[in-house]
Amino acid sequence: MHFIRRNYGWIIVTILAILPLFIIIKMISELPGELMQVPLDEAGEESRSSVAMLYHISGEFAIRWMTAVLTCTPFFILFGSNNLFVRQAMGIATAVWSILHLIIFIWAEGFLETFTQVNYIAGFVAVVILVPLLLTSNRKSMKRLKSKWKKLQSLAYIAAALSLFHIILIEKTWLIYGIIIGLGFIIRIPAIKDKIIGFRTRNKHQKVS
């Protein structure tokens, strides 16, 4: 029970990240057998639609988790609540879903297709950046890398920018993610951040007194 109380946030994030994977597994198990025998461009309309849905679902969850990670700091600024390990769990979820998205793409289209369009290249580079972040998202790496760990994890901002660029070119739903991420960075501006924290602190003291 002590473990659950201490790590309930991490557990909740893990469950929310894993549950949709069952949808992906179910969809893959129901794919027509022809996909295992012919390239996607030679397969039937049903097969192409099924794979397109896999693209969409895996990519959608990847960008949702990435957006959630980037809102952690603004959330702390606004409400004063911060949990590093919940953020790490969100980062792991982001990387796992992003890697899955890339695997599905390569499985369907081939590895070389990754380098045929600018948006594909941006997505690929974003996933490559996320891999070392995933491998170092643990307490042992934090202790070993010390100050370098934060510098390494800051590469997540580059991955986020590339991911947003990736979906801008292929999706119409990018705007909502762009607005959320953009507002998060506005809140991080030192002058705005200091005013918000100052207001929150004064309001807290007034309630106490």
Residue 166: burial class (beta carbons within 10 Å; 0-12, 13-18, 19+): buried
Residue 64, burial from CB neighbour count under 10 angstroms (0-12, 13-18, 19+): middle
CA angle 13-142-6, nearest 5°?
40
- Looking at residue 93, what is its pLDDT? 93
Q: What is the pLDDT of residue 3?
A: 60
Amino acid 94: pLDDT: 93
Query: pLDDT digit of tens for each residue in the chain (209 aa)?
Result: 666 666 777 788 888 899 988 888 887 777 666 555 545 555 555 556 677 788 888 988 999 999 998 888 888 888 876 666 788 889 999 999 999 999 988 887 788 989 999 989 999 999 999 999 999 887 788 888 888 888 888 888 899 889 888 888 776 667 788 888 888 888 888 888 888 888 877 776 666 55
The predicted pLDDT at position 2 comes to 60
Q: Which of 66, 72, 48, 20 is nearest to 165 (CA)?
A: 66
Q: At what angle do helices 72-79 and 174-188 cross, to 10 degrees?
A: 50
Where do the domains of the chain lie? 2-208
